[in-house]
Amino acid sequence: MEKKGIKKGFTKESLTAYGFLLPNLIGLTVFIFVPMVYAFYVSLHDWNALSPKVYTGFDNYTRLMEDKAWWKSVYRTFIFTIIYVPALYCLALFFAVLISYLKGKIEGFARTLFLLPYAITSVISAVIWMFLYDPRNGFLNQLFSLIGIPRQEFLGSTDQALISIIVVILWINLGYNMMIFLAAIKEIPNDYYEAARIDGATGWRSFLHITFPLIRETSIFILIVTTIGSFQVFDQIMVMTKGGPAGATEVSVLYIYKQAFELLDMGYASALAVVLFVIIFTLSLFQLKLYSKQD
């Protein structure tokens, strides 16, 4: 009887848990899994979104292998990721450690200050920075002229455009990732730091041997999520440069968008999207394997 009661209670708990999970599972199925399967189905067809689909097999995948413009956009995306992810990680961790030493209202003010850009929509943020980057009357160039630095083209330069956009996205996402790090740091028991002080450890040694190892799981989460996000960057580039100048900021998602909604080549765009998914999935698996080996 006792075993039956335990089993019955366990079943009720399981049903309750699955009941809470059900809305999320439905959302994932409807908005993630079904579109992914449909995208693969469309990638096997020639379709302009207006006429009926024509089955072409893997012709779209053969075509993308020879598409130099696509692979250049993938290369730019990798460059964006290589610069953006380490920069965001280091800056977020640095400011999280600094703010962890603050107390009371000053800490609350600092948190709010860093989170404000994240509260602004990405399009509005992009427009604000377009004014700041204006080559003639922008605030940054006016500031540079005061200190004797020549005016910069920023978004109008093939060398500076991608870096300029990275700065904007860093400004937007820095506060959110900093708060994740800060929450992890706050969870570390203060006894560890007190013991380190007694042993004569400096602030740098305490960070290196206590803080950094104990926020490792948070670090892995941020690195994987920001890597995925960097491969999906779109809205700021669409608003600020539309892929220009001379294709210098045309990343993978923007290239897919142009194929789908400007050229109406839905089948080819779907094939590109499937390949991009495989790239992101492979990178995520590689990161997880790398970190698990370190464990």
pLDDT of 179 reads: 95
Q: Which pLDDT band, with edges at 50, 70 and 90, does 254 fall under?
A: very high
Total domains in the chain come to 1
Q: Which two tokens stand for residue 82?
A: 């290589």
- Preceding amide of 213 cis, omega within 30: no
Average pLDDT over residues 262-266: 94
Residue 287 lies in a domain: yes
Specify the CATH number for the domain of residue 128: 1.10.3720.10
Residue 288 lies in a domain: yes
Per residue in 162-211, pLDDT (tens digit) is 999 999 999 999 999 999 999 999 998 888 888 888 887 777 888 888 89
pLDDT of 293 reads: 65
pLDDT of 292 reads: 73
Residue 68 lies in a domain: yes
Q: What is the mean pLDDT of the chain?
A: 90
d(Cα 131, Cα 139) in Å, to the nearest integer? Answer: 8
Instruction: Give the lowest-confidence range in 45-59, 60-74, 202-216, 239-253.
Output: 202-216
Is residue 136's pLDDT more than 80? yes
Whole-model pTM: value is 0.90
Residue 40 lies in a domain: no
Residue 192 lies in a domain: yes
Provide, rounded to the nearest whole percent, the portion of the chain with pLDDT above 90: 68
Residue 212 lies in a domain: yes
Residue 52 lies in a domain: no
Instruction: Give the lowest-confidence range in 157-171, 185-199, 246-260, 268-282.
Output: 185-199
Per residue in 199-233, pLDDT (tens digit) is 877 778 888 888 999 999 999 999 999 999 999 99
Per residue in 86-130, pLDDT (tens digit) is 999 999 999 999 998 888 888 889 999 999 999 898 899 999 999
d(Cα 82, Cα 230) in Å, to the nearest integer? Answer: 9
Residue 49 lies in a domain: no
Q: Which pLDDT band, with edges at 50, 70 and 90, does 9 fall under?
A: low
Is residue 6's pLDDT more than 80? no
pLDDT of 1 reads: 46
d(Cα 50, Cα 64) in Å, to the nearest integer? Answer: 22
Cα separation values, 246 from 42, 157, 158, 256, Å = 30, 9, 7, 17
HEC states along the chain?
CHHHHHHHHHHHHHHHHHHHHHHHHHHHHHHHHHHHHHHHHHHCEECCCCCCCEECCCHHHHHHHCCHHHHHHHHHHHHHHHHHHHHHHHHHHHHHHHHHCCCHHHHHHHHHHHHHHHHCCHHHHHHHHHHHHCCCCCHHHHHHHHCCCCCCCHHHCCCCHHHHHHHHHHHHHHHHHHHHHHHHHHCCCHHHHHHHHHCCCCHHHHHHHHHHHHCHHHHHHHHHHHHHHHHCCCHHHHHHCCCCCCCCCCCHHHHHHHHHHHCCCHHHHHHHHHHHHHHHHHHHHHHHHHHHHHC
Domain residue limits at 262: 64-294
